[in-house]
C-alpha cells in the first residue's frame, strides 16, 4: 500500500507546489504593504493640515484694488461733472424765466423784453418733432419688420443694415446740407419747417429702426410658429402677435429718437429763418424753435441773457421728459416680459 507525502496533504489537487508557495509569499507581502500603508495613513491623519489665511489679501493686491477703485470713481466724477455744471448753469440762470407766466403765453414780439416768452418756440419745436415722427416712424417700423420677418439672413438685409449703420453716423450738418441742396436748390422751394423736418428724418430713422429691429428679434419664434400652425397668415401674425409683444420697446425707441432730434440745431439753422412772432404754419420761411432762439442770440452777441438761458432750460426739460417717458415705457416692457 502506497504512502502519501506531507506536501501532498497541504496542496490543492492539481496545483503545483511552486505556484502555491508563490501565492503564499505574495499574500504575505501584500499584508505587509497594507500594514505599512495603514500605519502611514494613521500618522498622516494625526498631523494637523496646513491652514491658508484667505481673509488677508497681500499688500500688493490691496494697493492695486485701491488704485482701480479710485480710478473708477474719478472717471465717474469726470463724466458726471459736466452734466451737473450744465444743469446748474441752466437752472440758476433760466429758472426765473420759466417761473414767469408770460414765458408760456407770449412770444418775443413784445416791446418790453421783460415780457418776452417762448410760446412760439415751444410750439415750433413740438410741431417739427411731430412732423419728423410722423414721417420717420412708419419708414423705420416697416423697414425693421422687413429685415427681421422677411429678409433675415439674406444679402439684401446685410446691405440695408450696413447702410443704416452708415446713416447713423452722418453728422446733422451733412443731412441739413443734403436737404438744402435737394429741396431749395434743385426743386426751387424755400426754407421751411417741412425742409427742416426732412433733415431730421434722416437722423431719426436709423435710431428708431435699430431699436425696433432689436425689439422684434427678442420676440420668441415659438409665438410666431404657434400662430402660423393655427393657419394665421404671416402678416396677420406680425400685426396680431409680434408687434403687440414688442410695442413697449418700440415706443421706447421712438421716444429716444424724438428726444435726439428735438435737440438738434444744425438743420434748423440751415433750413429755417428765425421768427419772433407766433406762427404754426410749417410752410412759412420764418419759424421759431428753442434751439434757434439760442443760436440767433449768439449771432447777435447776446447769448448770456435770461431769455436764452430760459430757452435752454425749457429744451432740457422737454428732452429730459421724453427720456423719462421712454424709461417708464421700457420698465413696463421689462415687467411684461418677466425680467
In this structure, are residues 207 and 136 in contact, taking their beta carbons and an 8 Å threshold? no
In this structure, are residues 125 and 262 in contact, taking their beta carbons and an 8 Å threshold? yes
Nearest alpha-carbon partner for 170 in 258, 254, 267: 267
Q: Where are the alpha helices (DSSP H) in the chain?
A: 6-10, 17-46, 59-98, 102-105, 119-145, 155-168, 172-179, 193-218, 221-229, 234-237, 243-262, 266-271, 290-299, 306-336
Sequence ranges of the domains in the chain: 105-336
Q: Extract the C-alpha cell encoding 234.
A: 404671416
Task: Output the pLDDT for position 155.
Answer: 92
Q: Please tell me the distance from the alpha carbon of residue 312 to that of residue 316, in angstroms, as a whole number.
A: 6
Q: Please tell me the distance from the alpha carbon of residue 327 to that of residue 318, in angstroms, as a whole number.
A: 14
Q: Please give the chain's pLDDT, 339 residues, in tens.
A: 444 444 444 444 444 444 344 444 444 444 444 444 444 444 444 556 556 555 666 788 888 888 999 999 999 999 999 989 989 989 999 898 889 888 898 888 877 777 888 899 999 999 999 999 999 999 999 999 999 999 888 899 999 999 998 988 889 999 999 999 988 887 777 788 898 999 999 999 999 999 999 999 988 889 888 988 988 888 999 998 898 888 888 888 898 888 888 888 889 888 888 888 888 888 888 888 999 888 888 887 777 788 889 999 999 999 888 888 888 887 776 676 665
Q: Please tell me the distance from the alpha carbon of residue 145 to that of residue 151, in angstroms, as a whole number.
A: 9
pTM higher than 0.85 for the full model? no
Nearest alpha-carbon partner for 165 in 207, 121, 112, 198: 207
Task: Output the pLDDT for position 35.
Answer: 44
Q: Give bridge partners of residue 273 from the DSSP assignment.
A: 286
Cα–Cα–Cα angle for 18, 21, 23, nearest 5°?
Answer: 110
- Structurally, at CATH architecture level, domain 105-336 sits in Orthogonal Bundle (1.10)
Amino acid at each position: 500500500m502506497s504512502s502519501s507525502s506531507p506536501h501532498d496533504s497541504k496542496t490543492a489537487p492539481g496545483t503545483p507546489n511552486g505556484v502555491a508557495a508563490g501565492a503564499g509569499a505574495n499574500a504575505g507581502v501584500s499584508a505587509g504593504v497594507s500594514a505599512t500603508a495603514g500605519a502611514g495613513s494613521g500618522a498622516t491623519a494625526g498631523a494637523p493640515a496646513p491652514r491658508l489665511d484667505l481673509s488677508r489679501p497681500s499688500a500688493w493686491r490691496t494697493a492695486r484694488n485701491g488704485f482701480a477703485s479710485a480710478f473708477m470713481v474719478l472717471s465717474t466724477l469726470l463724466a458726471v461733472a459736466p452734466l451737473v455744471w450744465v444743469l446748474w448753469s441752466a437752472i440758476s440762470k433760466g429758472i426765473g424765466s420759466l417761473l414767469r407766466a408770460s414765458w408760456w403765453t407770449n412770444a418775443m414780439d413784445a416791446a418790453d423784453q421783460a415780457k418776452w416768452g417762448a410760446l412760439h418756440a415751444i410750439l415750433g419745436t413740438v410741431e417739427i418733432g411731430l412732423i419728423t415722427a410722423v414721417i420717420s416712424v412708419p419708414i423705420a417700423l416697416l423697414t425693421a419688420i422687413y429685415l427681421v420677418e422677411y429678409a433675415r439672413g439674406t444679402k439684401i438685409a446685410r446691405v440695408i443694415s450696413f447702410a443704416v449703420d452708415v446713416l447713423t453716423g452722418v453728422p446733422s450738418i451733412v443731412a441739413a446740407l443734403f436737404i438744402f441742396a435737394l429741396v431749395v436748390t434743385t426743386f426751387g422751394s424755400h426754407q421751411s419747417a417741412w425742409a427742416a423736418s426732412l433733415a431730421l428724418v434722416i437722423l431719426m430713422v436709423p435710431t428708431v429702426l435699430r431699436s425696433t429691429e432689436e425689439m422684434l428679434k427678442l420676440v420668441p419664434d415659438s409665438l410666431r410658429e404657434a400662430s402660423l400652425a393655427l393657419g394665421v397668415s404671416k402678416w396677420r401674425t406680425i400685426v396680431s402677435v409680434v408687434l403687440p409683444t414688442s410695442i413697449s420697446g418700440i415706443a421706447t425707441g421712438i421716444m429716444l429718437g424724438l428726444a435726439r432730434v428735438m435737440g438738434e440745431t444744425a438743420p434748423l439753422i440751415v433750413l429755417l429763418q428765425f421768427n419772433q412772432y407766433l406762427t404754426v404754419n410749417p410752410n412759412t420761411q420764418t419759424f421759431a424753435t428753442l434751439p434757434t432762439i439760442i443760436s440767433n442770440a449768439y449771432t447777435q452777441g447776446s447769448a448770456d441773457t435770461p431769455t436764452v438761458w430760459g430757452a435752454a432750460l425749457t429744451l432740457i426739460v422737454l428732452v429730459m421728459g421724453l427720456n423719462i417717458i421712454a424709461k417708464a415705457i421700457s420698465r413696463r416692457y421689462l415687467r411684461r416680459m418677466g425680467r
